[in-house]
Amino acid sequence: MATVTVQNEMNVYESADARFEVAAKILGLEEGLYKYMKYPDKEITVYIPVGLDDGRLEVFVGYRVQHSLVRGPGKGGIRFAPDVTLDEVRALAAWMTWKCAVVNIPFGGAKGGVICDPTKLSRGELERITRRYTAEIIEWLGPERDVPAPDMGTNEQTMAWVMDTYSMHMRHTTTAVVTGKPLDLGGSRGRREATGRGCMISCDKALAKLGMKRDGCRVVVQGFGNVGGMAALLMHQAGYKIIGLADIHGGLYNEKGFDIPAVIDWVHKERKPLPDFPGGGARMSTQDVLYQPCDILLPAAVENQLTSKTAGSVNCRILCEGANGPTTAPADEILDNKGIFVIPDILANAGGVTVSYFEWVQDRQGFFWRESEVNERLQDVMEHSFDEVVRYSETHGVNNRIAAYILAIDRVAYALKLRGIYA
């Protein structure tokens, strides 16, 4: 079904585009709208001069891509990683457009990235990179323009620096310019857990749909950062059995199930590599964990984990994509043929951007909600969006991923038609 070739399958932009092409065709999207939505609105490249701690001056390359502002301000994270590329940021920006449309929140899609290795930079160096990057793109940012959030390699502290830099330039505190901030600076209760919680809500819905039980349901999670760690913890607390875990250092498998709070202490408090966890389990590579028999496989690390070469070895009933783009386009068909129920990334991990939206709303109101209120609203959004995707899948006779794209493109196209083309 996918139009991307196997030779090109690791290019995430091509992967995202291949799904867009399929969905646009099924939807019968008219040519002008198709062209409008296929390409980003704006791609900004900045060269960021930063004084390093050793006195040297280094220049880092940063990007901000605004894919679509049709349904509202741009929304999307900032990634700090050594392998960031413009194509990757482009793909992530487009996914944000579709993700915000799937969960029907009033944002467009954007994404940012800086080519740097945050593990090798001091706190001071990271702060200077963040502030100068923000200053370079400042005229395109703002609560009504483009609202960044954390992604890989950035966190609440990074967002506090973005907020402060923007506020200094505007001459007044503007908390709503970024989300994923610390609670004391206008962050939302429940934001830290939101992406993992959204994954769990999607899994609950999938289990109900497939007539499966939550208690003892075997889950493998790849990635143990914000998304994977939180999903594992919340699912463990809810009665799921987490039997496989992996991070960048490697994987662990234990069919009896892990004591997740103890693993969290080990990895996040003691800062030890996950595979060295002393509480039992067989060590294996981070890739091999993906092939262990389980009911739910939850990749929550990086892109391109399930490919035309590896998807055939997956042994699960449900694939819940916590990461963005963990499955390449050619792998979709393999998963379909295996009868795996896929909860695609633009639905499964949309809990994060949904609570980011709640944070933006709270900042603009200057009125903050109880955590239970945040979680309740998140549950409503995720459950309704899941039902919509499944309804589109059944109506159009397509898999859940293409259904999610059709739903999203349909919503963006409708808004675009209502607005008309300015000129």
List contacts with ligand NAD (CB under 6 A): 150-152, 195, 222-228, 246-248, 286, 300-302, 322-324, 349, 352
Query: If DSSP codes are grouped into helix, strand and coil, which group holds residue 415?
Result: helix
Q: Considering the complex, what minimum distance in angstroms separates the CB of residue 196 from ligand NAD?
A: 8
Both tokens of 418, joined, read 């209502």
**Closer of 33 and 245 to ligand NAD (Cβ):** 245
Helix (H) or strand (E) holding 243: strand 241-247
Neighbours of 27 (CB within 10 A): 18
* Secondary element (H or E) of residue 80: strand 74-81
Q: How far is the CB of 384 from ligand NAD (least distance, A)?
A: 19
Specify the DSSP class assigned to residue 268. Answer: I
| Other residues' Cβ atoms within 10 Å of the Cβ of residue 302 | 17
CB nearer to ligand NAD: pick between 186 and 352: 352
How many CA atoms lie within 13 Å of 301's alpha carbon, on the beta-carbon side?
A: 21
d(CA 232, CA 229): 5
In the complex, the smallest distance separating the C-beta of residue 176 from ligand NAD, rounded to whole angstroms, is 18
State the burial class of residue 140 (Cβ atoms within 10 Å of its Cβ: 0-12, 13-18, 19+).
middle
Q: Do the Cβ atoms of 182 and 156 come closer than 8 Å? A: yes
Tell me the backbone φ, ψ of residue 396, rounded to 5 degrees. -95, -5
Smallest distance from ligand NAD to CB 322, Å: 6
Q: Which residues are catalytic?
A: 111
Smallest separation, CB 72 to ligand NAD (Å): 18
With respect to ligand NAD, which residue has the nearer C-beta, 267 or 413? 267
Task: Report the residue number, 150 or 190, with the smaller CB distance to ligand NAD.
Answer: 150
CA 188/CA 175 separation, integer angstroms = 11
Residue 27: which residues within 8 A CB-CB, separation 6 or more? 406, 409, 410, 413
Indicate the residue among 73 and 398 with the shorter CB distance to ligand NAD. 73
Going by C-beta distance under 8 Å and a sequence separation of 6 or more, which residues neighbour residue 51?
57, 128
- Phi then psi dihedrals of residue 80, to 5 deg: -110, 110
Least Å distance between CB 30 and ligand NAD?
A: 31
Nearer CB in complex with ligand NAD: 135/302: 302
